[in-house]
A and B are shown apart, each in its own frame.
Chain A
């Protein structure tokens, strides 16, 4: 029946007020923390992020959070940059990331508008995170870098090229879009995550 509390990992990448509000609207208690004991004793962990990959990685390492994230056993959701940091490397600052998902993060190159900004639908695989979601659902994206499509991809998006809109390996989930900003469809994703 779903969890009652969620911890959002606190670090130097972007504001979390909207994510916190979105979760609270679903009736869960939200804790914002960068403490190992709090994160590792949480029922669910959300790893948000709007920022730059290399500076985020160096901050995580300086706080020892990279190792904390790798120890998490409960359902974990990386959002936007938080998803990209789960991958093996990023071209944004040419940095090695957490390496939980075997995928490279690359810069969009194309004549289309960059960043990829706005609402896009996705092509989904059967996964608990996307229960009740169809290709008629749109999600809000804002990003200039993308995670390549791999066997961990559970939803793909086609903008400039096909890329991972969502990934999953074991208890680790990631979404490139912002569920907290994606209206009803995004709220459904967060509710699914809470109910895993």
Chain B
């Protein structure tokens, strides 16, 4: 059976792991390579490294860090943050990243999805979407949640899939940082409508929240950050818990 994936997300700034509550209030939580290696030993199925300041400060992503990660860690990992061009992606993939996560620049220039899919294959193209539920609609936000667009989450996810995205990583801004659980209804709708894997993000606070998102939204993977970084939930313990609740995990 295909296992449900647990993905710790490491937000990176200046080569260090950080986590912001609702994208604000950033606090240092360690070295990305050490932390990533620790997670892989604990049973993490995949890792995401996001350069969270890259879009705003137009910083180029961290190729040297990616190489260090790839030479140390033997599970798949995705890198994202400030990716604007095919050239950025080429460099990151050749440095050992398995996938790239594209967010704002894909909304601004959806053609990049087609180009990535045609050049490197859909399997390495993760489209990250930050969206906020306001007056009955999920609006897509850019620049780490700072810039609202008129695009709707489900329309944008469809276009991304049609253009060749390999996975959708959806972060609910309403849930992110709250630790009150994932955005089940929106995730469920995404999982039903889309044919590509859906990664749930935003809101994980307890082990039951992971059970909920796998059982009730039927997503393929669940991502979280601070609860892992501060060891509020241990990945091994989480997987034992999910196994007992009859969810297939590695």
Binding site for B on A (CB under 8 A): 14-15, 17-18, 21-22, 24-25, 50-52, 113-121, 138, 140, 142-144, 158-159, 178, 180-184, 186-187
Contacts and interface: CB of A to CB of B under 8 A. Distances in A.
A24 B2 CA distance: 29
Given A17-B94, A114-B195, A115-B166, A140 B123 contact: no
Interface of B: 1-3, 5, 40, 45, 67, 70-72, 74-76, 93-96, 98, 120-124, 166-167, 195-197, 220-221, 250
7 contacts: A22-B74, A119-B45, A138-B250, A142-B76, A180-B74, A181-B75, A183-B74
Contacts of B95: 15, 17
Contacts of B67: 17
B123 A142 contact: yes
Contact of B123 (A18, A113, A117, A120): A117
Contacts of B70: 17-18, 21
Given A18-B70, A181-B75, A116 B166 contact: no
Contacts of B121: 50-52
A178 B73 CA distance: 13
Given A17-B96, A181-B74, 20 more contacts: A17-B94, A18-B70, A21-B96, A50-B120, A113-B197, A114-B195, A115-B123, A115-B166, A118-B3, A118-B5, A118-B221, A120-B1, A120-B3, A142-B76, A143-B123, A144-B122, A159-B2, A181-B75, A182-B75, A183-B40
The 10 closest A-B pairs by CB, nearest first: A17-B96, A138-B250, A21-B71, A119-B3, A142-B123, A119-B250, A181-B76, A15-B94, A18-B96, A113-B197
Contacts of B167: 117
